[in-house]
A = this chain, B = another copy of it.
Amino acid sequence: MIVNIKIEEYLNKLNSFSFPKDREILEEMEDYAFKNDFPIVERAVGNLLYTITKLKKPKLVVELGSGYGYSGYFFAKGIEEGKVVLTDYQEKNINMAKDYYKRLNIYEKAEFNVGNAIDIAKNYKDIDILFLDLEKSKYLDAILELKSNLKIGSLVIADNVLWYGKVVEEIIDEKTEKIKVFNEYMFTNDEFFSTIVPLRDGVLISLKIK
């Protein structure tokens, strides 16, 4: 456990007030995740992504691992002038995202890609926000391969960096070890200034400072 369950419930309730006009569709997306055991960032993290997007005013957000577009919704809503690039290796998920985004009136703010997320992202230069939510063992590879596509002042946001709390267990598996190495890299490499928010499964927020 990362956060006290009662606190999580309290926060979920407060966070559920967001985006009243889209409430029905958002709840439909959340329901799909619940019923299909599909990992999404949840509303609390989504609202944080929206807030950060409003502050950052990005032209280009690139997501590595978009699923059916739940996290991308919050970026798209926060973007004033620009776009969010969605990637997923499953065509079914991207097609779902397209349908949802049409209904949510954010289709024009997004680009949709099926395939290897890192390979797709390499085509995008001058990224303002890079969102990592792909296979956890690939986080560090993603940064090493895409660092030169990130502007100075850009943000890296990574989900699941506390990995169900496994990062503090005594015996850890290979995937958890890779997440720990990624976290240490982001906090000790002087190209980044990092912080982790223990919201849900842990969200890393890193500024590219040089």
Considering the complex, which residues of chain A in the window 3-25 have a beta carbon less than 8 Å from any beta carbon of chain B? 3-4, 6-7, 9-11, 14-15, 17-18
Q: Does chain B have a CB within 8 A of A100?
A: no
Q: Does chain B have a CB within 8 A of A148?
A: no
| Contact-residue size bin, chain A (C-beta under 8 Å from the other chain) | 35 or more
Chain B min CB distance to A20 (Å) = 9
State which of A102-110, A132-140, A160-168 sits at the interface with chain B. A160-168
Q: Does chain B have a CB within 8 A of A195?
A: yes
Contact of A187 among B17, B52, B55, B198 (CB under 8 A): B17
Contact of A51 among B6, B7, B193, B198 (CB under 8 A): B193
Residue among A1, A11, A199, A207 facing the most chain B CB atoms (10 A cut-off): A11
A48 close to B197 (CB less than 8 A): yes
B15 close to A168 (CB less than 8 A): no
Residues of B contacting A3 in the complex (Cβ-Cβ under 8 angstroms): 2-4, 198
Chain B min CB distance to A45 (Å) = 9
A18 close to B198 (CB less than 8 A): no
Residue of B nearest to A18 (CB): B193
A-B contact pairs, 28 of them (CB 8 A): A2-B4, A2-B7, A6-B165, A6-B168, A7-B162, A7-B165, A7-B167, A7-B168, A7-B198, A10-B162, A10-B168, A14-B183, A14-B184, A14-B187, A15-B196, A17-B187, A17-B188, A44-B195, A47-B194, A48-B195, A48-B197, A50-B193, A51-B205, A51-B207, A55-B155, A197-B197, A197-B198, A197-B199
